[in-house]
Amino acid sequence: MNNISYYNSDRLIFWKTLKIKITNLKKEKKEKTPIFKTTYSLGPLQVKKSGCCRALYIGVIPVIGIVFKGNQKIAINFFGMTLCSLKRNRHTIPNNATAIREDRERTKKRLYINIGNLPYSDGRTGIPRVAKKLLEEGLKDKDIEVLPVYFERDSLQLKVANNYLDENYGLKSNKIDDEVITINSGDVLLNVLLDYIEVKGFSPIFKQIEKIDGKVFFTVHDIMPLQYPQYFKELTVERFEPWLRETLKYNGIITVSKSVMHDLKKWIKNNGINLKDNFTIDFFYLGANFKKNTSISLTKDESAVLKKITTSPYFIQVSTIEPRKGYEQLLGGFTQLWEKGFPYNVVFVGSKGWKVDDLCKKIENSKYYNKKLFWLSRVSDNFLVSLYRNSNWVIFASQAEGFGLALIEGLYFGKPVLARDIPIFREIGGNNVTYFSGNGYNDLAKSVENFTNRSYTYNKNFNIPTWDSSFKKIRSILF
């Protein structure tokens, strides 16, 4: 069964629950882990409640449902289809803020890492991976208490994700349900994933944290919607500056590279923004410490795909499929090479993003698709490790990045890396990376061909940042 959780993504509620029930009837056994934690029955009618969902059943048929959405609205569903969305009471969040109080019984300072919607849905993309890795390292810390938190969809309250810790790390709490955070002097809330709606909408809670002498920090991964609006959806561009201005109202920003920090400071200065006294702007580097040398297991399907890919040496690019990532040039450049008999494969690892419908059709309609060109979406961590391990080269053709995690991951696995010549890649890769320039298919094709024909010596003295060092740098900034 698929990831039945305390938090129950709304995608699991309607027809999927019916399918599970029918399957269980056929097997003549009951599901051990119930989807709904609370059930109220009256004859054939049942009202079922769990996480962000409520549903009225007639027998085994889900008829009417209420889903508390991540955009602070309520969706009314009929047979799994959304009929309408309703706004929440505007007093709810301010009232929730007043429920956040001190806890004088505890002595350790706390770092709350806001993991956004991860309890409800994990798209296995880059920024959620950052939140998970920082949390994993933080849980090992002995000096401060590190806890994941999220804004619960039904209550709109900031809560400690006790059940997320149980489900994902086996760390059981003495609390059955997730609890409202407490704030003592010096505690910090670090927001890694919040979007504009959340940052603006939950501002009363952030202000309450500051009021009782806690601190509120945000990570900024880049300011590219301001620098390169052509690469993003109109709504993203429209909301980004208000989002950024909102984050600057609190205690500090931590960026994911020195380049982004400098870009942010320059933008603040150019826009005449006045910051609070003692407002902090600093940076850390993302890490790369997969289990490089340990054995890992793959599913049968994953093993079959890997076997097909490894029929020839291959390049790999790991990133969301979106306009700035250079996939158009990669497709065109490698196609030119294959037309001339180039023997090597290329693997794109990343979910489909925005403004790339035509590009994705080109990928899937290529005569080399699933022969020399492979596109994998939402791969597991184990499969990603296997893809890196078995690759011969890592390529990163992105036009702009805040960091470029795949570049560091490529170096971590000791692979030759070919990357576009942009400042951020120079900052984090230095002389350990081979760089290319030019935006034409032929530019890429020539660079790839030359790259595969040269020898590569790995610099053993290159200090690759780990997630442990990433977390320690953040902790030194915050405490």
- pLDDT (tens digit, 9 = 90+) per residue, 4-22? 456 654 444 444 445 545 4
- Per-residue confidence (pLDDT) for residue 121, from 0 to 100: 74
- Per-residue confidence (pLDDT) for residue 31, from 0 to 100: 40
- pLDDT (tens digit, 9 = 90+) per residue, 113-164? 999 888 887 766 667 888 999 999 999 999 999 999 999 988 999 999 998 9
- Per-residue confidence (pLDDT) for residue 10, from 0 to 100: 47
Rounded CA-CA distance 154/373 in Å is 44
- Per-residue confidence (pLDDT) for residue 269, from 0 to 100: 97
- Per-residue confidence (pLDDT) for residue 454, from 0 to 100: 87
pLDDT (average), residues 41-69: 81
Q: Is residue 352 a contact partner of residue 390, using CB atoms and an 8 Å limit? A: no
- CA gyration radius for the chain? 24
- pLDDT (tens digit, 9 = 90+) per residue, 379-393? 988 999 999 999 999
Give the CA angle between residues 150, 154, 160 to the nearest 5°. 25
- Per-residue confidence (pLDDT) for residue 428, from 0 to 100: 94
Q: Closest Cα to residue 468, out of 166, 139, 218?
A: 139
- Per-residue confidence (pLDDT) for residue 291, from 0 to 100: 63
Q: Is the pLDDT of residue 29 over 50?
A: no
pTM recorded for the entire structure: 0.84
Rounded CA-CA distance 19/178 in Å is 29
Dihedral of CA 22/24/30/33: which sign? negative
Q: Closest Cα to residue 184, out of 215, 140, 139, 143?
A: 215
Rounded CA-CA distance 20/3 in Å is 12
Q: Is the pLDDT of residue 41 over 80?
A: no
49: confidence class by pLDDT, cuts 50, 70, 90: confident
* Residue that is written with structure tokens 């945000």 in the block: 218
Q: Is the pLDDT of residue 420 over 70?
A: yes
Encoded tokens for 441: 């298919």
Half-sphere exposure of 138 (CA within 13 A, CB side): 27
* Average pLDDT score, the chain: 88
- pLDDT (tens digit, 9 = 90+) per residue, 297-346? 899 999 999 999 999 999 999 999 999 999 999 999 999 999 999 999 99
> What's 95-148 look like in SS3?
HHHCCCCCCCCCCCCEEEEECCCCCCCCCCCHHHHHHHHHHHHHCCCCCCEEEE
